[in-house]
Structure 1
Amino acid sequence: MFDRRFRLFVRLRSPGFDPGNCLSCSQATGAFMYDAIVVGARISGASVALLLARLGHRVLLVDRARFPSPTSSSTNLIHPPGVHRLREWGVLDRLDGHSIPRITRYRLQSGPVGMEAPLPAVDDVDYALSPPRLALDEALVRCAVDAGVELREETSVQELLRDEDGTVVGVRGTTKGSGRFSERASVVIGADGKNSKVAQLVGAAKYRDQPVLSKSLWTYWDGLPQPSLVRTYRKNRRHPFTWPTHDGLTIVGVAWPTEDFPSPGSDEATDRTVVAALADVDPEFAEQVRDTGRADRWLTGSVPNFLRTPAGPGWALVGDASATRDPITASGITYAVTGGEILAEAVHEGLSGRIPMARALAAYARRRDRLVIDHYDYTRDYARIADHTPEERALIEAMSRSPWHARDMIGLFATVVPPADFYSRANFRALFDYLDDENGLPPKIRLLRWLLHGVPGRPAAPAGLADRLVAASLGPMGDLMLRSARP
């Protein structure tokens, strides 16, 4: 509390500060009770509330649940960008009652070829974590409360308050036990999930949307060896996955394209379905699964894919309310944390009077797009779970031989490496230097390599043609590659 007040004091005393323009002083003038009202107290909402409170702002955080509270199925994986922030904020310190192993390597196996690499670091964090979701939600909420956030549990928002210009200036709803309430704030933030009430009330448009692309079955398994490794597979339009999670448990699951998802049956029938899929890609691991035991019921994961307009007059969206994508890249928690951070930075700019709030929220919308759109397209493409072609497998094998391509491909999946950095002309041209001739190459790959090396005296045109041919096999990411600079 002292630290928060000290920062506010420094800001109030800083050169050029004008109290008349500072919305953080609104409680002194009586215009607003709060600087920000955050609707939804899960990962993204608790993150933005925590950060705004630490910056000296008065924040009301509301949620329909009472914490600790279970949430819908979540595979819990947090990639290095999310781990880095949660560690810096002190949230991970509240999880020390659990055994949570560090995951330092990711593997992709596609039929007979595969690659494995260590995770690229974000500052000094080169590992992922998979903590218990119930404990993570509780830790974030309690960190926010300790920072000065006012938490109202079992509270539902039904309406938004607006001024004469239509700008959102507050919320109206009900709290269990005390009935209806109405509160005003400089900004209202919707962090209330893919079915966001705030998004509905402001009419936030969806775009680049697609229906559910894949469905998965997953659960916790007990007694398995726990290497520091995320393993994913691709074969016969199935995507098995597994990694160590918390307290000696392992996540085991399989995803299918929506149209191939097996009819749900008993847990024992699902055991057989999942073990059969694992046996097809990793017989040794499947045998270990058979010899140990399931520790929980089977869960089903599937979500639609969409982006929403993330901000408008007096309001903003964050987390799944802002952008929901297929869970196959396990990026939801990581983007909830990073999105909460960039929204808190933008709202702080507006509340402090450095720039008008409208400009701050517009800047947030642009940063949100830069943060998520390319990886959103990558995730949608990945979620189709199409078997890799012989040409794609040749390139995967080449990545495994490269000193950096495998690491960067793993970093792409883990949201560390931006898709635009990986899917570039230069990166894919360099990849062709690592092709393996010993076992033979698909004819198309041989042709592409010849074109990339160029025809003597006329290197540019053939190389450009090769770029277009490579891009044609990369789906949405091919367009990204062609937008990159020609070496």
Structure 2
Amino acid sequence: MFDVIVVGARVAGAPTAMLLARQGHRVLVVDRAQFPSDVISTHLLHVPAVATLRRWGLLERVLASGPPPHEFFRMDFGAFAIAGPPPAVDGERYPYCVRRTVLDKVLVDAAAEAGAEVRERFTVEGLLVEDGAVVGIQGRDQSGTLVTERTRLVVGADGLRSTVARAVGAGYYHETPALTATYYAYYRGVSGRGTEIYNLGDRAVVVFPTNDDLACVFVACPTKDFGRFRTDVEGEYLAAIDRVPDLAARVRAGERVERMRATADLPNFFRTACGPGWALVGDAGYHKDPCLAAGIMDAFICAELLTESVHSGLTGDRPMAAALADYVTRRDGWFLPYLDLTTQLAAMEPPPPERVALLAAIAADPAESSRFFGVLQGSTPVGEYLSPDNVQRIMAAAAAR
């Protein structure tokens, strides 16, 4: 019998398994994939996520794959641009965009090295429930054999369309339907020295330098335009990029090296994230539009919050139900402001004049620009930065200049 079974072994599940195994718990982590393998993802590691990998002892392995540091962020609004480096976190200065074939494999290997049992190509078909509590999983291994495993806790780390969440009937709250759809492709000969974000009103274009001297080039549109976009994906994709002349020239001169990929139906929500014998972590319990490219960082934060609570429950420091409830309270308290900010940005609606004025004031001050990027990467709390007093400070400094 296991202490914890984690369903899903990517950026939320593998760290959860690793951290619990490092604390001496008997952990099984299963995933239907075989690693290394790719997955739809913005795959950006904001600076706090880079600092987390350093703390876990995994950063050197990830950087050995050769992703370039993003020396600056640039958010171009047409009339002005916010540009500069994001603030450092625990000595780490740069974000990185790391292919999921690299990152997920490092995390899965680290879970195994910590003592977790890893089973790849394992498909969970259902949960075992006794007296109203989850007590295990049932699924098929890579040979197709039906397998049953029992545990004190099942953790669903199996993403947006979580089998675990569906099986336990986890409800939604703070829910907003999908706001954008995104297409992206990898190019050679396009990379700059950092992250480029172009806000074009009804379109957004993003460039992330990544492994193998490639750049990941995203184009996002509002969901109301998705039907038109997918009737001519190539034309709509390039038409958006053509609205940024310098980037368009680089893309036209570059070489696309992989097929185009699409993301759609990406809702914004919290799910009820715990119950008798189960918990949810990562996208399974909290999901938002990818416009902030914060999914990996969020998964790392959730994994640490959950493992801290689960450890206290497994060791008897407090009842497991209370420990898991505390995890959800802490998770929601931290992420709700980011969920609200995300839905505002992803709506792609004309911003009110006061927001335009604030962004222009930020753009005019390099130090303020860096602090602003701290909000986007999660090192500066949203509520603190956008408080009336701080906004007044920013505007007063702009007026003084």
Q: TM-score, normalised by structure 2?
A: 0.94
2-structure distance, mates of 1:58, 1:215 = 40
2:51 to 84, 87, 104: 84
Report the Cα offset of residue 407 of structure 1.
1.8
| Corresponding position of 2:304 | 341
Structure 1 runs (4+) deviating above 4 angstroms are none
| Corresponding position of 1:320 | 283
2-structure distance, mates of 1:106, 1:96 = 19
2-structure distance, mates of 1:60, 1:163 = 20
- SS of equivalent residue, structure 2 residue 332: helix
| Corresponding position of 2:245 | 283
Matched, 1:150 2:117: yes
Matched, 1:135 2:102: yes
2-structure distance, mates of 1:359, 1:131 = 36
Q: How does 1:35-50 map to 2 (within 5 A)?
A: 35-50=3-18
| Corresponding position of 1:396 | 359
2:22 to 25, 43, 54: 54
2-structure distance, mates of 1:238, 1:436 = 31
Matched, 1:205 2:208: no
1-structure distance, mates of 2:246, 2:139 = 55
- SS of equivalent residue, structure 2 residue 149: strand
Amino acid aligned to 1:245: T
Report the Cα offset of residue 390 of structure 1.
4.4
Return 5+ residue gaps in structure 1 as ranges: 1-32, 439-487
- SS of equivalent residue, structure 2 residue 242: helix
- SS of equivalent residue, structure 1 residue 387: coil
Indicate conservation of the 8 Å contact 2:174/2:270, yes or no.
yes
2:142 to 163, 176, 190: 176
Report the Cα offset of residue 332 of structure 1.
0.8
1:116 to 67, 72, 83: 83
Q: Which has the larger radius of gyration?
A: 1
2:261 to 291, 296, 299: 299
| Corresponding position of 2:381 | 418
1:99 to 66, 75, 92: 66
Amino acid aligned to 1:388: P
Report the Cα offset of residue 97 of structure 1.
4.6
Q: How does 1:469-484 map to 2 (within 5 A)?
A: none
2-structure distance, mates of 1:178, 1:401 = 60
User: Which one has a larger percent strand, Structure 1 or Structure 2?
Assistant: 2
- SS of equivalent residue, structure 2 residue 53: helix
2:202 to 237, 240, 251: 237
2:230 to 241, 250, 264: 264
Report the Cα offset of residue 300 of structure 1.
1.1
Return 5+ residue gaps in structure 2 as ranges: none
2-structure distance, mates of 1:220, 1:265 = 21
1-structure distance, mates of 2:66, 2:294 = 22
- SS of equivalent residue, structure 1 residue 125: coil
CA distance 1:277–1:120, change in 2 (3 Å): same
Report the Cα offset of residue 389 of structure 1.
4.4
Greater mean deviation of Cα atoms: 397-406 or 308-317:
397-406
- SS of equivalent residue, structure 1 residue 300: strand
Report the Cα offset of residue 403 of structure 1.
5.3
Indicate conservation of the 8 Å contact 1:120/1:408, yes or no.
yes
1:412-469, Cα deviation, whole Å (9 max, x unpaired)? 111222111111011111122134699xxxxxxxxxxxxxxxxxxxxxxxxxxxxxxx
CA distance 1:411–1:96, change in 2 (3 Å): closer
| Corresponding position of 1:216 | 182
Indicate conservation of the 8 Å contact 1:275/1:290, yes or no.
no
Identity %: 40
- SS of equivalent residue, structure 1 residue 410: helix
| Corresponding position of 1:465 | none
CA distance 1:399–1:222, change in 2 (3 Å): same
1-structure distance, mates of 2:41, 2:89 = 23
Report the Cα offset of residue 375 of structure 1.
0.4
Report the Cα offset of residue 133 of structure 1.
0.7
Q: CA RMSD in A?
A: 1.9
Matched, 1:352 2:319: no
